[in-house]
Structures are given as structure tokens and as C-alpha cells.
Structure 1
Amino acid sequence: MAFPETDHPIGTGATGVRIETDAMGEIEVPAEHYWGAQTQRSLQHFAIGDDRMHTALYRAYAIVKKAAALVNAEGGRLDPELAGAIVRACDEAAAGLLDDEFPLYVWQSGSGTQSNMNVNEVIANRASQLLGGGLGRERLVHPNDHVNLAQSTNDTFPTAMHVATLLEVRDNTLPQLLALAAAIGDRARRWHDVVKIGRTHLQDATPLTVGQEWSGWEAQLRAAASRLEQSLDAVCELAAGGTAVGTGINAPEGFGEAIAAKLAELTGLPLVTAPNKFAALGSLDGMVAVSAGLRGAAIALMKTANDMRWLASGPRAGLHELRLPENEPGSSIMPGKVNPTQQEAAVMVALQVIGEDSIVAAAGAQGNFELNTMRPIVIDNVLHSARILGDACGQLRVHSVEGIELDREAVAAYVDRSLMLVTALSPHIGYDRAAEIAHKADHEGLTLREAALRLGVEAAEFDRIVDPSTMVGDPKRDLGL
């Protein structure tokens, strides 16, 4: 049906307060907002810190409510006109037009009841407005009887959690992680044949190429992305249809399957109804799995970023094999200083994600009987981790990796001075004699060649055997060139 255009499509247009009611009685609500009595009570009772529930959750919740309205209308349980208004209000919320109507704190009922009712109230009042009705006691759409029909917080909140997580990881985290890996891979192939000295235990080791080193970072990030993507399977199963404790009371037969199919249609996600609703309500195992996937990606990101900042250290008193882009002044007191700021930010993000995963794991173990009541803190941490991890990968790629260059002179100098090239001599003269050469060169300040010749190695033999370019394996094969 066609709805009349309202004067205030994303606000009531009123000022002052209006009276809303719930099972606890009357309460004053700011007249300019769509939320109702239970939202207002939550704002008063849970004013803890400044941590607000993520808008991504509410946008996903709106999609869940839209799917429920469509399924209920198709089943003849909801008047088509009311359903149409609810669907339009849900579309506005999912598009972000009603973000200001979802002000609740993370710290609330562990089931997420306050957030569910916040969504129900906003959708009900907006839908009533679209139908030409009033708000609050004058509304034509009821938050419980219509918007929450055949649903409970206990099954819709975890459903919204899963949808929000899937959308955030699919649309932001994974693409950014893979784009970073691709940018690193591009440089690996560009520098596939540049021989450099390897390092183990932070000490000199045998040579490899710059491309081989960078290919390790690329492979680690891609493997982490693959594991993260696999973890998403655990949140494709939805609790919707289980209602209060998993039995499906007050929901019609087949509602779980129908709403899962509708949500899959609306989102393009491979969503299915959870085969066991008691596990879906009583546990948070799927979210714990995704959080672990995010932690794994954070660990790969931290290793990569840390290697980069070590290799960029200097320029005169560090390794300085890499030249980082000069994005901003590095010091308020030391002129001309350039710091690895993108790498540092990435490491801090990785640490945050690792810490948040610890919270999610602990919360996942807090399920009691038919419900895990740690859901708000879990979705807060998972969505935050997914967002900052994706953003950090994007920033590191755009503002650092894509502009990194090699200090080829430094790379070559380290190879020339390395003592560990003596490893190539070991099969020919024995481990002990090769070690003697290395120690002599180090203690007397000689080149490796000078020490070898003084200890009886023929010059021609040394030059034939100790050739760094022959000690790096097959870089083209390693990089698929």
C-alpha cells in the first residue's frame, strides 16, 4: 500500500514530553523521539558509563522485525496494512534513518530485553505515524502484540546478534583483511628476487628474499581470513522460533524455518533455523567461535605490523630496510622524525581484539540453564572487534603498505656483512670449522671472507660456495611466478 508522506519522516516533530505506558504504569518520554516507556526506564535504570549498544545491532534487529512481520502477514496472523507499515518502519531503521532512536547502554538485562523493546517501541510508533495514527497510548501498532508477534527477546536478540555479526564481518572485516593481504602480496612479487638477510631469535640468519619474507605475511593473513570466514558458519544458525526457552511457545509451527528463510532472502546470507533451539538460546558458542576467528586475524595482523616497524627502524641507528610513507610529523620536539604510526595503531587494535576475545570467551561460559544472559557484552565486543580490525587493515594498507619502499643499500649491506653466510660452507668444511670462521670474523672485526681465508679456505672455493643468491631456494616457485 502507499503511505502518506509525513512531515517528519525521521522524527515526531513534537517538543516537550508525552506520556507512555507499559506494565509498570505511566512514564514521561521526550516527545521528539519514537521510543516508549520501557526504553525510557532503561535509560534511567542502566545509565552506566558511556557505552551505547552498536547501531549495527539495531539495524540488524530491524531486518529481523521486518522478516517477522512478513512471515506473520503471510501466515494470516498480522493485518496486511499493519504489516506494511511495520515493514516500512523497519526499512527506515535498517537504513540508519532512525539511529538516534536507539540510545540504550550496553549494560542492561543480559538477555537484551531492553534493546528488543526499544526496537519494538520505535517501530510501533513510527508505523503508527505512517498509518496516520498517534504515538504512545494513541498508536495504532502495538510493540508487543504486533511488532513482537510470535517472538521473544530470548530468540530475537541472538538472531539479531548473528545477523549483525555476519553483515559486519562479510562487508567490512573480511574484505579489508583480504585487501591488505593482496597489497602485501603485490610487493612480495615486486621484490621476489631482492636478497636480504634473514633473522631468527632477532639474530642474523641465512638469506632469503624480500619477496619470500613478505609472502609469509600474505599467507598468514590469508589463512587467518579463511579461518575467520569458516567461523561464520556457526552464526548462520538462528534461534528465532524458539521464543522464551526453546520450545517455541506462542509461535506457530514452522515459524523458525519461515523467518530464517525470509532473513536469508532479505540479506543474501546463508541463514537457516537452528536445529536445536535449546542450545541456540542457552549458549553463545557461535559468537565465541567468531570472536576466536577475529582474535586469530588480530594475531596475524600484529605479527605483520610488528615486523614492518622493526624493519623500518632507524633511519641511522636501526635496521631501516623499509622506508615508510611520511604521513605526519613524528614528534612534537624532534624535527624531521617519522614514526611507524600505522603499524603502532594496528598493534594496538590487535591487542584490543585479543582482550575483547577473552571477555567473549568468559561470557560464553556463563550460560545458565535455558539462557545465556551475557549477550549484550558479547555482541558489543564482537562488533567492536570486527569493526576496528577491518578499519585497521584498511588504514595500514592505504596509508602505509601501498607506499612502502625498500632501502636497497641497507638490505645489501646487511647481506654483505652477515656472518651466517658461513652456513653454506658447513657441508664442505664441517660445522666446527665453519663456526670457528664465524667467531673469528666477529671477534676480530673481519669480513667472513677474510676470516675464512686466514683459516685456510681457498679464495676460489669460498667465492663459489658463499653466494647469497644461491642460498634462497626458488623465490619464483615460492611466490607462484
Structure 2
Amino acid sequence: MSKLSNESDYRLEMDSIGSRKIPVDSYYGINSVRAQENFKISRSRVHPELLKAIIIIKQAAAITNFELGLLNESKQEAILAACQQIIESKLLEEIDLDAYQGGAGTSTNMMLNELIANYALEISGKQKGDYKFIHPNDDVNRGQSTNDVYPTALRMAVLNLLAPLTETLAELQQALQEKEKEFANIIKLGRTQLQDAVPITLGQEFSAYAEAINRDRWRLYKITDRLKNINLGGTAVGTGLNTSHNYIFKIAKHLRHLSGLSLSHAENMIDITQNMDIFVEVSGLLKASAVNLNKIASDLRLLASGPQGGLAEIKLPAVQAGSSIMPGKVNPVICEMINQLSIEIICSDQAITLAARDGQLELNAFGPLIAHKLLNMLEMMQQAMRIFIDKCITGIEANQDHCRNLVNHSLAFVTCLVPYLGYEKASQLAKQSLTEDKSLKELILADNILSEEELSQILKAEQMTTPGILKLNKNN
């Protein structure tokens, strides 16, 4: 039996559909209750970074409306105090609203309008739900529409999550570059299509990883300028209905101050209202980064495979026992986590692409899906890379002797013989070496093709890792 058994335990709220009884002490209103009932399909909630951005927009709107004489001082102060109280509490993490919702984000916007209004009423000494004093729509949402609030808030949230992500990418790049230096003199066998190729240094392999991450970092850094254009003040379709030019420019100024982001009023607010391609662009860059991360993680798994029956050229840090039945087994679990993250990012990118594609006319109704996928992509990638750095990259060790031994017992040197013997002769020697289980050096010396002194000059693994062809002191 419900604890709320008396009529006095409820307040009655109405909307265009009808009326509902709301628990008298609830900070939520009728729009919030309907949204919670209509969209309870997953365990995923609206991202708190998006909620925070919307609340900051409400603060900027309250200040702007007060300056324009559209909101009295007591209402402004109550709304600002309510917004600050919500931001400083842990409430944003606990707001019970499903991330998968229809209505282009209206449920999210209205839930926060009601939440702020009821907090403001409480601060003012009024009863929650007594909207004649502070109204969710007329006061908290004044001069706004979900259609300009939601895209603006999403851009803000993306910018706020991009900053730590790009910082972590820079840290990953640095960690890889440190390994590049540490492994600079370790000669190993390079492989193409998983077959023995030519010598390379382990440091050179890590240099390629670092450069790929550097590209990812700069691509994401360069997109921030395009994310700073906002349509706040455009209201329903971007035309600015029910606002003024003063409102549009003032609210952008206050939003810059409150958010700390260098946001600017978009010249074409209709474009920003209806088109979501900027988020497809961000998502695509995250996908590109995820592809690079997956390549690095997969390479590390291969290079560390074994330790007896695989390549075993490097050793990854052991972070947990690898098997419930095989004692002593240690798995590359951090790399496997990165592999799975990559799959998630690629799938989320596809969802964002389709959601942005399917927007119609003056509004994209699928902003909530885009927001949920994109903000979680940003957060997951940052957290995963932090773990990748701390629990994998920085602790990688090289099995130097084993690396050199694999080079010495391979056909890696045959390629450097081509300039002196020609492709056909070098190919014949390679085949003979495998068939007779003899080294290239043995075969060449036996046939007096080259002298031991000449071979000692040519067959140096170190010089095979840099450009150039050695000129021998003989007439060919």
C-alpha cells in the first residue's frame, strides 16, 4: 500500500492532455511524470553533462530576461539559486529519465523546467507546484524552446567532454613516444600480412602508433570551432519567434560567461536547429580514433602472444589472473577492453549517422539518441584510454634477445641482397634456404657469390631499418 494515502498527500497538476495527481513534495511535475511513464525502456539515463548544460542555459536566460524587464528580481534570484543548488548537488546523476525518448528532447527540457521551478518555489518559501508564483514555462523557459535549448546544450556538453578526451589523447601519444625512445635500438622482425618481412626497430613500430594518435588529437581539436556556433534564441525553428535581437545577443554573452566556453551566435539559426551533421562529424572522428586504438591494441596482443607458443616480442603488464581453470595464464585484458570499446564506438557512430540522416524539415526529432550515443562515446573513450595508458602502455617491456633471435633465423635479410644479386637470384636463395634448412650466409659463401667481408657489410640489421643502399668496394 502506498505511503501517500490521503488527498492532502497530493497536488493536482494539469496539462493540455488532462490532469494528474503528483506527490505534494515532489520536485517533478506533470510533464516529468508523463515522460517517466512513456519512455521507461532501458537502464540508460540522460547524460548529466547534457543536464548541466541545460541548467546553465536556464541561468543565462533568467539573467537575460531580468535585464530586459521580462522577469522580476525575486524570480530571477530564486531561479538562479535553484539552478546552482541542482548543479552543486548530486541530483544530475540521479535524475530518472530514460535516454531513449521521443519529442526531440522536450521531455528533458520540461523535466528540468519543472525541477528548477519547484526548487525555486521552495527557496522562495512557496509550495511546490504553486506555479502562479514561478512557472516552468512562463518563467524558467521564457524566451526558449526545446529546439534551441537542446542543440545548444548538446554542443556545450560535447565541448566539455572533448577537452579531457583530447588531453588524454595527448598523454597516450606521449606514453607511446616514450616507448619509442626506450625501444629505439631493439631490432626485431617486421611483418606484412602476418608473414616475415624485413627488420624494423620496436621503437619504429611505436612511433607509428604515436603518430596515429597525434592525428586523432589534432582532428578533434580542430572541430571545436564549429561546435561553438549556437542557435539559442532561435526558439522553435530558428526564426527567433517570441524573442528579440537584444535577447539573442545578451543570452549568448551570459552563456559564454557562465559556461566558460567561447560560444557564438550562429548567423543561420535555422541551419543549427534542423541539421545535426556536426555531431556526425564529431562521431566520425571518434570512430577514426577508435580504429587506430583498435589497431594498436590488436598489434600489442599479437606481439605479446605466447609467452611460449606465440611471438612473445613484448611483455604486457599482468593486471589479473587469466583463467579459472588454467593456472598461471595471464590474458591481455586491457587490450581486449580497447578492442571492445572500438566495436561500441563504431556501432554508436552508425546510430548517430542514421539519426542525423532521418531528421525532417525544420527539426531533427532524434536528438536524444544522438546525445546519448555521442556523450557516452566521448566519456568511454577518455576513461578507456586513461586505463590503457596506466595499466598497459607504460608497463610494456621488450624481450630484446628473443626479438634479435627471430631476425637472425628468418629470411628478413634476403631483401637487402636484391640490389646486389637481383630479385630472381635472391628469390632462389630464399627458397633454397627454407628447403635445405641452411642460412643465406652459408649458401652465398658456399657458391662464392659474395665474400664474407661483403656479406658482413650488407647483412646488418641496423642499417636495414633506414633508407639507403650500401655501395660495395668491387666491380659488378
- Aligned-partner Cα distance in 2 for 1:159–1:138: 27
Asked if the contact 2:166–2:221 (Cα under 8 Å) also holds between the matched residues in 1, the reply is yes
- Aligned-partner Cα distance in 1 for 2:382–2:402: 33
Q: Deviations over 1:56-98 (max 9, x none)?
A: 2111111111111122222222112211221122223333532
Give, as a single letter, the amino acid of the residue that structure 1 aligns with 2:157. Answer: A
Deviation at 1:449, TM superposition (A): 1.7
Identity of aligned residues (%): 35
Aligned pairs for 1:15-414 (under 5 A) are 17-99=10-92, 102-137=95-130, 140-171=133-164, 173-414=165-406
Task: Check 1:32–1:197 CA distance in 2 against 1; reply closer, same or farther (3 A cut).
Answer: farther
Give, as a single letter, the amino acid of the residue that structure 2 aligns with 1:214. Answer: F
Asked if the contact 2:233–2:247 (Cα under 8 Å) also holds between the matched residues in 1, the reply is yes
Question: Which sits farther off after the overlay, 73-82 or 381-390?
Answer: 73-82
Is 1:459 aligned with 2:452? yes
- Aligned-partner Cα distance in 2 for 1:130–1:352: 43
Task: Check 1:138–1:86 CA distance in 2 against 1; reply closer, same or farther (3 A cut).
Answer: closer
Q: TM-score, normalised by structure 1?
A: 0.92
Deviation at 1:357, TM superposition (A): 0.4
Q: Deviations over 1:424-458 (max 9, x none)?
A: 11111111111111111122222232233234332
SS at match of 2:101: coil
Give, as a single letter, the amino acid of the residue that structure 2 aligns with 1:383. Answer: L
Question: Which sits farther off after the overlay, 233-242 or 353-362?
Answer: 233-242
Give, as a single letter, the amino acid of the residue that structure 1 aligns with 2:403. Answer: V
- Aligned-partner Cα distance in 2 for 1:101–1:257: 33
Deviation at 1:109, TM superposition (A): 2.2
Deviation at 1:182, TM superposition (A): 1.1
Asked if the contact 1:124–1:139 (Cα under 8 Å) also holds between the matched residues in 2, the reply is no
CA RMSD of aligned residues (A): 1.7
SS at match of 2:188: strand
Asked if the contact 1:21–1:136 (Cα under 8 Å) also holds between the matched residues in 2, the reply is no
Asked if the contact 1:17–1:28 (Cα under 8 Å) also holds between the matched residues in 2, the reply is yes
Give, as a single letter, the amino acid of the residue that structure 2 aligns with 1:75. Answer: L
Task: Check 1:415–1:30 CA distance in 2 against 1; reply closer, same or farther (3 A cut).
Answer: farther
Task: Check 1:346–1:33 CA distance in 2 against 1; reply closer, same or farther (3 A cut).
Answer: farther
The number of residue pairs the alignment matches comes to: 459
Q: TM-score, normalised by structure 2?
A: 0.93
Displaced runs of 4+ in structure 1, greater than 6 A?
Answer: none
Q: Deviations over 1:336-391 (max 9, x none)?
A: 01111000000100110011001111111112111111100000000111111111
SS at match of 1:471: helix
Asked if the contact 1:102–1:119 (Cα under 8 Å) also holds between the matched residues in 2, the reply is no
Asked if the contact 1:224–1:293 (Cα under 8 Å) also holds between the matched residues in 2, the reply is yes
Deviation at 1:312, TM superposition (A): 0.7
Asked if the contact 2:121–2:130 (Cα under 8 Å) also holds between the matched residues in 1, the reply is no
Question: Which sits farther off after the overlay, 259-268 or 402-411?
Answer: 259-268
Residue equivalent to 1:10 = none
Asked if the contact 1:311–1:319 (Cα under 8 Å) also holds between the matched residues in 2, the reply is yes
Asked if the contact 2:26–2:128 (Cα under 8 Å) also holds between the matched residues in 1, the reply is no
Q: Deviations over 1:386-432 (max 9, x none)?
A: 11111110111111111111111221111211202111111111111
Give, as a single letter, the amino acid of the residue that structure 2 aligns with 1:108. Answer: Q
In the alignment, structure 1 segments of 5+ residues that lack a partner are 1-14, 475-481
Asked if the contact 2:24–2:128 (Cα under 8 Å) also holds between the matched residues in 1, the reply is no
Q: Deviations over 1:306-352 (max 9, x none)?
A: 11111111100111111111110011111101111000000100110
SS at match of 1:254: helix
- Aligned-partner Cα distance in 2 for 1:33–1:406: 60
- Aligned-partner Cα distance in 2 for 1:368–1:433: 66
Asked if the contact 2:199–2:465 (Cα under 8 Å) also holds between the matched residues in 1, the reply is yes
Task: Check 1:94–1:447 CA distance in 2 against 1; reply closer, same or farther (3 A cut).
Answer: farther
SS at match of 2:12: strand
- Aligned-partner Cα distance in 2 for 1:110–1:306: 41
- Aligned-partner Cα distance in 1 for 2:162–2:364: 23
Residue equivalent to 1:6 = none
- Aligned-partner Cα distance in 2 for 1:101–1:192: 50
In the alignment, structure 2 segments of 5+ residues that lack a partner are 1-7, 468-476
Asked if the contact 1:58–1:94 (Cα under 8 Å) also holds between the matched residues in 2, the reply is no
Asked if the contact 1:423–1:434 (Cα under 8 Å) also holds between the matched residues in 2, the reply is yes
- Aligned-partner Cα distance in 2 for 1:27–1:214: 62
Task: Check 1:138–1:334 CA distance in 2 against 1; reply closer, same or farther (3 A cut).
Answer: same
- Aligned-partner Cα distance in 2 for 1:127–1:319: 65
Task: Check 1:322–1:19 CA distance in 2 against 1; reply closer, same or farther (3 A cut).
Answer: farther
Deviation at 1:100, TM superposition (A): 5.6
SS at match of 1:136: coil
Residue equivalent to 1:477 = none
- Aligned-partner Cα distance in 2 for 1:391–1:452: 55
Deviation at 1:17, TM superposition (A): 4.6
